[in-house]
Structure 1
Amino acid sequence: MLPFILTAALAAAFTARADTTDSQWATEVVIAKQGDHCADDPSCMNRLHPAIPPVAHANPGDFITMGTRDALDSDLTLDSIADDMAALDLNLVHPMTGPVHINGAKRGDALAVELLAIDPDQYGYTLIVPGFGFLRDLYTESYIVNWKLTPRGAVSDQMPGITVPYEAFPGSIGVLPGEPEVQAWKAREAALAEAGGIALAPQPIGGLPAAVCGPEGSHSADCLRTIPPRENGGNMDVQQTQVGTTMIFPCYVDGCGLFIGDVHYAQGDGEVSGTAIEIGAVVTVRTSIIEGGAAGMVAPQVSGNDEIRDIEPTRFHQTIGLPLKTAGEVPIYVTYLESEKIGALENLSEDLTLAARHALIQMIDYIQAEHGMTREQAYILASVAVDLRVGQVVDVPNYVVTAVLNLDVFDKYRN
């Protein structure tokens, strides 16, 4: 009887215990997506203001899991075509999940946010939007690439022979500004717009949460747009913020007001078309508070280990950009300066933007000539797989920016 009794006892012991999924040591705060769009979701916002109430509270060390939406809060699908882009409402950019109040955090502290996991949707897109992007003067027609996302990489019927590796990160992540920051940033951006530069004033139409930022909202004239990154983080689009890295933000309000959105499946340094591989995703982070850590911080910082090395290509092609242009051309980004000197010059001094443009145009020409892609396909590929990098900033007048194409994206080099 002993073997039977022992077997029965062991069976009872094992059946009485749950499987490993029920053995947990960390508290998880889950903020799931609700509804089809940000306007349907009480946990979603697309403007920045300290009056936006928290959608959840979390303690330092908790796992915070957020369902996020694509950058345009769109209805795009694998069957979408360029004509469908006419229905996009840019007043809805960017839908963010949050803010999350971190218990114990105070204004003047810093918030360390460790990126633990990103679970992407199965669909993503990359767009050329007229009037937007680094080469917006050269690309004036709508264009869309629809991506099927797999664990191996992103593939598209519009980009045959290309597989873009999975290197996801949150394009937008940050903390709420305080009232002094809102007023200071609003004033400096208004001054830039008054001078003729590009700056987006607060826009209540489409602003969320509507009770704070909409047309009838309590702070509709002060809710900041999310397109430009600022000292609080936001739309930084820094591809090195991969899973495993820790981002550090100065806190401007008690609780910090953490938000996340605009996840990118992959992106080149520069995001030159104006979009990466834009996706919805589920993102998990955990936080810690650095008491008084905001002192001396003027912008977010990032620390990590081998994440940068892991996203480096094993083979590449590189173009060298110099601050050169044709005589008579006034680069689009300096037209507001109204300088009579710029137009006649063929060489500008210490101009990294012009050098980056020079490198990128050469790279697009190379992709077309060497790999048989159209100019639109080449621009899209550059946005998701070409890194613009500063070569040097000392050899006056010609600072150098390079464009580095990850040749690993071409199936012909891997198979």
Structure 2
Amino acid sequence: MLHSLDKIRPGVTMDEIVALRKANPGGGPHSVTGPIYVRGAAPGDVLEIRILKIDPKPDAFNFNLPGKEFPTIGVLAREFPEGFARFFRLDLEHRRAEFKPGIVLDLQPFPGIVAVGIDPNDPSPRKGGSGDPMAPVSTLRPWKNGSNLDVNELREGSTIFVPVFLDGGLVWVGDAHCRQGNGEVNLTALECAYRQIVLQLIVRKDMTLK
């Protein structure tokens, strides 16, 4: 799904995007899949997560929230006081997107979020740092369990190793991107959705990560 459970789609206004953002303070707009229970994974193990295949859907977007309301969000807040949104129709046959006439970007899809269940002794990833073990987990930042890494090298054929904190690992993945530089200057990439992402999850009891 696209951001905010598929609610940011072509035709959505900036006012609607702002309302979605304000409705989830301290959380994140990302659509994620999980948790996935990995048989045999236990605290202290390492999960080897291989990204085997990513199959994008054709719609994508990039936006900058209004700088007048979100002056600290991204480095372009002053450049876009009213905000800006751009929607794209991806050329999946040739794996590219036209940014503007004469500027074509090759698609390099990757999930911004790859994570496992959080350390139960560390409340930092929970919204507001709540000590309630049932409190929702924020997807805004990266943590030691992975989460919002936004590493554009996590494409097909890549592997990431993540420590396990809970029985079953509890893998979750999302924040689908189709292209991004080395970071999100305006806090969005070429945001998209996937028809499928295929992962191979391997329990490594011969490794430790701290």
TM-score range for the pair, normalised by the shorter chain length = 0.7 to 0.9
Q: Does 1:259 align with 2:186?
A: no
Superposed, 1:102-181 pairs within 5 Å as 102-130=38-66, 131=70, 132-151=73-92, 152=94, 153-155=96-98, 159-181=100-122
Equivalent position of 1:288 in the other structure: 202
Corresponding residue to 2:134 among 219, 231, 250 = 219
User: Cα distance, 1:84 vs. partner?
Assistant: 4.0
Q: Which residue of 1 aligns with 2:14?
A: 82
Greater fraction of residues in strand: 2
Contact 1:202–1:225 (CA<8 Å) still a contact in 2? no
The yes-or-no answer on 1:201 pairing with 2:128 is yes
Quickly say closer, same or farther: Cα 1:233–1:108, change in 2 above 3 A: same
Q: Distance in 2 between matches of 1:77 and 1:224?
A: 25
Q: For residue 81 of structure 1, report the CA deviation from its aligned partner.
A: 4.3
| Distance in structure 2 (CA, Å) of the matches to 1:253 and 1:227 | 21
2:38 is the alignment partner of 1:99? no
Deviation at 1:218, TM superposition (A): 7.2
Counterpart pick for 2:188 among 253, 271, 275:
275
Task: Render the CA deviation track for 1:90-114: whole Å, top value 9, x for unaligned.
Answer: 5162221000110011100000011
CA distance in 1, matches of 2:103, 2:11: 19
Are 2:153 and 1:240 equivalent residues in the alignment? Answer: yes
After superposition, what is the alpha-carbon deviation per residue over 1:318-360, rounded to whole angstroms, capped at 9, x for unaligned? Answer: xxxxxxxxxxxxxxxxxxxxxxxxxxxxxxxxxxxxxxxxxxx
Q: Distance in 2 between matches of 1:76 and 1:254?
A: 34
CA contact (8 A) 2:119 2:166 kept: yes
Tell which has more relative contact order, 1 or 2 (C-alpha 8 A, sep 6+). Answer: 2
Amino acid aligned to 1:144: A
Note if contact 1:133-1:274 (Cα within 8 Å) is conserved in structure 2.
yes
Distance 1:114 1:93 in 2: 25
Post-superposition offset of 1:171: 0.5
Structure 1 or 2: larger helix share? 1
Once residues 173 and 105 of structure 1 are traced to their aligned partners in structure 2, the CA distance between those partners, rounded to angstroms, is 16
Where does the alignment leave 5 or more consecutive residues of structure 1 unmatched? 1-68, 190-199, 204-216, 299-415
SS of structure 2 residue aligned to 1:88: helix
CA distance, structure 2, for counterparts of residue 79 and residue 219 of structure 1 = 36
Please list, as runs of the form range in 1=range in 2, the aligned pairs for 1:298-317 lying within 5 A after superposition.
298=210
Q: In the TM superposition, what is the alpha-carbon distance from 1:249 to its structure 2 partner?
A: 0.3
How far does the alpha carbon of each residue in 1:108-146 deviate from its partner, in whole angstroms, 9 at most, with x for none? 000001101111111010000132213334433210010
How many pairs align? 197
Report if aligned partners of 2:18, 2:65 keep a CA contact under 8 Å in 1.
no
Q: Which amino acid aligns with 2:42?
A: K
Question: Based on CA coordinates, which of the two structures has the bigger radius of gyration?
Answer: 1
- The answer (yes or no) to whether the contact 1:83–1:142 under 8 Å persists in 2 is no
Provide structure 2 residue ranges, at least 5 long, that are not aligned to the other structure: none
Counterpart contact for 1:80–1:146, Cα < 8 Å: no
Deviations 1:61-92 (A, max 9, x none): xxxxxxxx223334233334434424424516
TM-score (norm 1): 0.44
Do the aligned partners of 1:70 and 1:261 also contact (CA within 8 Å) in 2? no
Q: Percent identity?
A: 27
Three-state SS of the structure 1 residue aligned to 2:8 is coil
How far off is 1:292 after superposition?
Answer: 5.2
Q: TM-score, normalised by structure 2?
A: 0.84
- Pick closer, same or farther for the CA change 1:82–1:161 going to 2, 3 Å: farther
Q: Give the AA of the match of 1:123.
A: D
Q: Deviations over 1:294-315 (max 9, x none)?
A: x3x24xxxxxxxxxxxxxxxxx
CA distance in 2, matches of 1:257, 1:115: 16
Cα offset, 1:275, TM superposition: 0.2
